[in-house]
Structure 1
Amino acid sequence: MSEQITRRTFIKRAAGTLLTVGGLGTGGYFYAREVEPSTLDITRHTIKNAALPSGFDGVRIIQFSDTHLGFQYTMEQLKQLIIKINKLKPDLIVFTGDLLDDPRHFTEQNKLISMLSNLDAPLGKYAVYGNHDHGGYGSDLYKQVMEQSGFTLLLNMSSNIKLLDGSSIWIAGIDDAILGKPDLNASMAKIPANSYTILLSHAPDKAEEAAQFPIQMQMSGHSHGGQIQIPFYGPLVTPPFAEKYVEGFYTVGPNDGLTLYVNRGLGTTRLPFRFLSQPELAIFTLKSEKTSS
């Protein structure tokens, strides 16, 4: 699917969204454009699984996603976010794509690298591509920014996270589903059987395919939670590959073996509005079922 087609479809659907926001009146318009996009919802979750080694009990993972720097989300907001993340003292940090809204017009590369380098996580920092990270010939720029700021960019590959006691989990990542070439087989190739595995995929709807692999947890973004939600109706607009799974937790696949979490992200795209879809920073605390409560 080309970026041009995706953009055209999104804008066509968004016309109805604009009318809806306009219908909310002046107060609703101001809230959706100026207030909610600048707020932050820090969500906290516990992830339990029998496959988790007991050594990882209590390990904290922070997921952030979809900053779309340059459209509405600012460098100052990112700076404040980084301060908040470091105060929360995560063991592991993951970014699930769409760092820049339009890489062609971004000029603060060195400043961005310096800022992201300040993120501190003793077990590592990991990232995957989103569609905007590829768009506008941004693939190499995104790779350079993330790698120079200390992130491991998981492009259809995996990485082993090992503790001093020898226990380990795996984190895998696939390319973006719209503008990249995701390859789950390649990302899972080196992971031993019976390993606890977290998959990073910008596109949440790839969970249908991921559920056919021995993956216990998938973390995604891309949807923005619909960005604008209408009470009793839900999101008005969702992008391709985020049409089935929009926000929060889902169980997917045979025997509901895969837990999917879809982060609402931080920025906006196409339209500078959020309504009932607050920007999100997610914290996950791992809990091994092998340890006593």
Structure 2
Amino acid sequence: MITRRGLLKAFGGLVAAGFATSAYAVGVEPVLRLGTTIYRIRPPGWPEGQKLRIVALADVHACDPWMSVGRIRAICEHANALGGDIIVLLGDYVSDMRAVWNHVPAHAWAGALSILKAPYGVHAVIGNHDWWKDGAAQAAGGGETFSHRALRDAGIAVYANRAARIETASGAFWLGGLEDQQALHPGRKWNRTQFAGLDDLPGTLAQVTDDAPVILIAHEPDIFPSVPARVSLTLCGHTHGGQVRLFGYAPVVPSRYGNRYVYGHIVEEGRHLCVSGGLGCSGLPVRFGSPPEIMVIELG
């Protein structure tokens, strides 16, 4: 028989558990945890014996206190220690959250990222929030954002629908980087009803002039169904792994494909995609079941 006292104790336990879970989701997982997720992949089109170790960082969303300059620098020091041949940054360096003490200026977060080092360089694409937070870029309907300039001033190569051939000790590959797929807000003359992208996948791949393998970096994974088999591997961020994930399922995902590309290593029709869980937060400073991570991909 359930007594009134028993019901009150059960209710109290649920309330306490709720407070504990909330405290963890706000105060522990977003700011104190950092994981390294490693994928070892041999995709079709990647030459046998050609080895490459990629370290990928996504969705920094710089702001105090959740992602301070000091924390970004510490993450970068850890990323350097992972021994990547190349480091890629997958977009969204700025924050849109209101629950912050301060928004970190671009020169400060870019300065922290400037300590990243790898034998074959540090390469970046821009994310949707980098575009959305730049009023001048929105008004112009293109061009470049202050994030483009800050990264370039920090010595980081920025890709906006560009491909570059990179020579390594075990063979060459092409790195293609797309401009953002949701760069422009609705309501402008060029974009009345929905977000407009500035990405150009065909134009980017047209710059590939030989049969060396291709790696594509893009902020949003929604591009993946359009990526041809010519691309050995696609790397993306944006989703934060759902930011809140319960038993492997994310109730809210910023993708028209829902959980299809929310996180991890996905293979479709022989094509390979890796989606990072990212580092920072968007909307609310909450992470649960999706801790911040650095993604490492070992090819070959």
Shared fold (TM-score greater than 0.5)?
yes
- Deviation of the 1:88 alpha carbon: 1.6
Aligned to 2:251: 236
Query: Judging changes above 3 Å, is the alpha-carbon distance between structure 1 residues 153 and 27 closer, same or farther for their aligned structure 2 residues?
Result: same
AA partner of residue 114 (structure 1): G
In the aligned structure 1, how far is the partner of 2:264 from the partner of 2:16? 28
Q: Is the 8 A contact 2:125 2:160 kept in 1?
A: yes
Residue 269 (structure 1) aligned with residue 273 (structure 2): no
AA partner of residue 35 (structure 2): D
Aligned to 2:182: 178
Q: Is the 8 A contact 2:62 2:109 kept in 1?
A: no
Query: Judging changes above 3 Å, is the alpha-carbon distance between structure 1 residues 220 and 258 closer, same or farther for their aligned structure 2 residues?
Result: same
String of CA shifts for 1:106-156, please: whole Å, max 9, x gaps: 453333333222111110111111100101217421011111222211101
Gaps of 5+ in 1: 1-21, 288-293
AA partner of residue 236 (structure 1): P
Aligned to 2:113: 116
Higher Cα Rg: structure 1 or 2? 2
Matches within 5 A, 1:132-143: 132-137=129-134, 139-143=144-148
Matches within 5 A, 1:62-73: 62-70=55-63, 72-73=66-67
> What is the DSSP-based 3-state SS (H/G/I as helix, E as strand, rest coil) of the residue aligned with 2:63?
coil
In the aligned structure 1, how far is the partner of 2:254 from the partner of 2:16? 23
> What is the DSSP-based 3-state SS (H/G/I as helix, E as strand, rest coil) of the residue aligned with 1:185?
helix
AA partner of residue 165 (structure 2): N
> What is the DSSP-based 3-state SS (H/G/I as helix, E as strand, rest coil) of the residue aligned with 2:131?
helix
Aligned to 1:168: 172
> What is the DSSP-based 3-state SS (H/G/I as helix, E as strand, rest coil) of the residue aligned with 1:110?
helix
Q: Is the 8 A contact 1:177 1:241 kept in 2?
A: no
String of CA shifts for 1:76-116, please: whole Å, max 9, x gaps: 1101101101112211000111011149x745333333322
String of CA shifts for 1:144-192, please: whole Å, max 9, x gaps: 1111222211101111111357x31011111111124111011101113
Residue 214 (structure 1) aligned with residue 218 (structure 2): no
In the aligned structure 1, how far is the partner of 2:292 from the partner of 2:278? 6
- Deviation of the 1:49 alpha carbon: 3.4
Query: Which structure's residues are more often helix, by fraction?
Result: 1
Q: Is the 8 A contact 2:90 2:237 kept in 1?
A: yes
In the aligned structure 1, how far is the partner of 2:266 from the partner of 2:211? 22
In the aligned structure 1, how far is the partner of 2:62 from the partner of 2:206? 33
The structure 2 residue matched to 1:195, chosen from 212, 217, 224, is 212
In the aligned structure 2, how far is the partner of 1:206 from the partner of 1:23? 43
Query: RMSD over aligned Cα, in angstroms?
Result: 2.3
The structure 2 residue matched to 1:154, chosen from 150, 159, 162, is 159
Q: Is the 8 A contact 1:172 1:200 kept in 2?
A: yes
AA partner of residue 62 (structure 1): V
Q: Is the 8 A contact 2:166 2:173 kept in 1?
A: yes
Query: Judging changes above 3 Å, is the alpha-carbon distance between structure 1 residues 220 and 62 closer, same or farther for their aligned structure 2 residues?
Result: same
Q: Is the 8 A contact 1:46 1:285 kept in 2?
A: yes
The structure 1 residue matched to 2:79, chosen from 71, 85, 91, is 85
In the aligned structure 1, how far is the partner of 2:255 from the partner of 2:164? 28
Aligned to 1:291: none
> What is the DSSP-based 3-state SS (H/G/I as helix, E as strand, rest coil) of the residue aligned with 1:235?
coil
AA partner of residue 274 (structure 2): Y
Aligned to 2:126: 129
Query: Judging changes above 3 Å, is the alpha-carbon distance between structure 1 residues 155 and 241 closer, same or farther for their aligned structure 2 residues?
Result: farther
- Deviation of the 1:229 alpha carbon: 1.4
In the aligned structure 2, how far is the partner of 1:283 from the partner of 1:229? 21
Aligned to 1:259: 272
TM-score (structure 1 length as normaliser)? 0.81
- Deviation of the 1:55 alpha carbon: 6.1
Q: Is the 8 A contact 2:45 2:230 kept in 1?
A: no
> What is the DSSP-based 3-state SS (H/G/I as helix, E as strand, rest coil) of the residue aligned with 1:68?
coil
> What is the DSSP-based 3-state SS (H/G/I as helix, E as strand, rest coil) of the residue aligned with 1:82?
helix
In the aligned structure 2, how far is the partner of 1:150 from the partner of 1:27? 43
